Amino acid sequence: MIYFDNSATTRPYEEVVQTFASVSRQFFANPSSLHSKGGEAERLLNKARQNIASYLGAEPSEVIFTSGGTEGNNIAIKGTALAHKERGMHLITTMAEHASVYETFHYLETIGYSVTYLPVYPNGQISLEDLEKSITNQTTLVSILHVNNETGVIQPVEDIGKILAAHPKIVYHVDHVQGVGKVPLGLKGANIDLCTISGHKFHGLKGTGALFVRNGITLSPLFTGGEQEGRVRAGTENVAGIVSLAKAMRMTLDEAKEKREMLQEIQAYLMDALSSVEGIKINTPVNGTAPHILNFSVEGIKPEVFIHTLEEKDIFVSTRSACSSKKAGPSRVLLSMGVNESLASSAIRISLSFDNTINEAEMAVNAIKSAVKNLREVMR
């Protein structure tokens, strides 16, 4: 099997699965309980929080555990908007955000908030000048996706942070879900206030994640009922999931030191090889992108047909983000970059992990060439 759909989800490390099972059996007590078993679970939870904080370059008090990227983004965006609505109801994001951000802003518009959706240009990035012009004295939040989940485009989040440093009343949120282990990000250096990560994107388990909340930032909680997670996220903590999240993050960051360059080599090979195939158009820009994502269009061929053709050869790719892959029609992200509707409707995404090899890439290229040729002959 050649698995090239790692931006949808990654295969969990075996050690992570074993950690989850072991903690579930041995430390099953509620960490809020006063008895000794609860204390054991609480100590394990605190240790995991310290570890993840150190990996992020944060303080333990700045780490809130969540169920993943969607929840983290919702807490960050709705929590900020609701907490500061008396100060202003203007919010800023981009046209190329993940659905969990884009749809959250659409919801806030329905309850009275004003949202500026910054355009992206053919390189997939926003204009810093556009951002500066959009800021008003009513702006309370800027939310930007670090690494685009469909195209791999990296937004200039550090430069954005410099601009927002001059506007201390604006909260700055970054969705870092696709960046962990692939594109380093210094939270404090970039003046980031809120940052979302999701465990299953870096070989952790589904249902695990964290939200960095810089000390001093106020959020209105979406879940109430308990004092867990600094009263930002009530509910009994998933101790086994949280400990496994810390393990997955450590293992990913260790692998990244040795294998990030390998990802770049595989991506470069795929981009070069596929760009020479007649009928294929590469949508991921050559520069300014993460090393693990490549988006291309096969003009005139339905993406679902193309995906199932590759699946018959035990090669697994996707169309767009897993959250939107079953939706018909063109990719909103590609349309925002100026890609025409036909190409945006036939896009394919390859997304890599540190497990993938150049040999797999070569096999996939041959299979893609064959699939394009055969499907075009059937269509004649």
Same structural domain for residues 309 and 266?
yes
**Is the pLDDT at 300 greater than 90, yes or no?**
no
Residues 226, 343, single domain; the answer is no
- Do 179 and 290 meet the contact criterion of CB atoms below 8 Å apart? yes
Shared domain for 268 and 217, answered yes or no, is: no
Tokens 């004003």 found at: 114
How confident is the model over 220-263, as pLDDT tens digits?
Answer: 999 988 889 989 998 989 999 999 999 999 999 999 999 999 99
**Residues involved in catalysis:** 323
Question: Can you give the pLDDT at residue 146?
Answer: 98
- Look up the domain containing 339 and give its range: 2-8+257-379
Q: What is the mean pLDDT of the chain?
A: 95
Q: Are residues 54 and 133 in the same domain?
A: yes
CA proximity to 209, closest of 169, 180, 251, 172: 180
117-129 mean pLDDT: 97
Contact 20, 240 (CB under 8 A): yes
Same domain, 71 and 201: yes
The confidence score (pLDDT) of residue 125 equals 98
- Alpha-carbon span 66 to 102, nearest angstrom: 19
Q: Which residue has the tokens 């333990």?
A: 60
Q: What is the per-residue pLDDT for 53?
A: 98
Q: Check if the beta carbon of residue 331 is closer than 8 Å to that of residue 246.
A: no
Q: What is the mean pLDDT of residues 131-137?
A: 98
Whether residues 229 and 261 fall in one domain: no
User: Are 242 and 263 part of one and the same domain?
Assistant: no
- Residue 155, pLDDT > 80, answer yes
DSSP string over 10-50? -PPPHHHHHHHHHHHHHS-S-TT-SSHHHHHHHHHHHHHHH
Q: Are residues 336 and 367 in the same domain?
A: yes
Q: Which of 223, 250, 277 is the last residue in one of the domains?
A: 250
What's the pLDDT score for residue 323?
52
Q: Which of 294, 243, 254 is closest to 25 using CA atoms?
A: 243
Per residue in 163-212, pLDDT (tens digit) is: 999 999 999 999 999 999 999 999 999 999 999 999 999 999 999 999 99
Considering the domain architecture, whether residues 130 and 170 belong to the same structural domain is answered as yes
Model's pTM, two decimal places? 0.95
Regarding whether 350 and 320 lie in a shared domain, the answer is yes
pLDDT by residue (tens digit) across 322-340?
A: 554 456 689 999 999 999 9
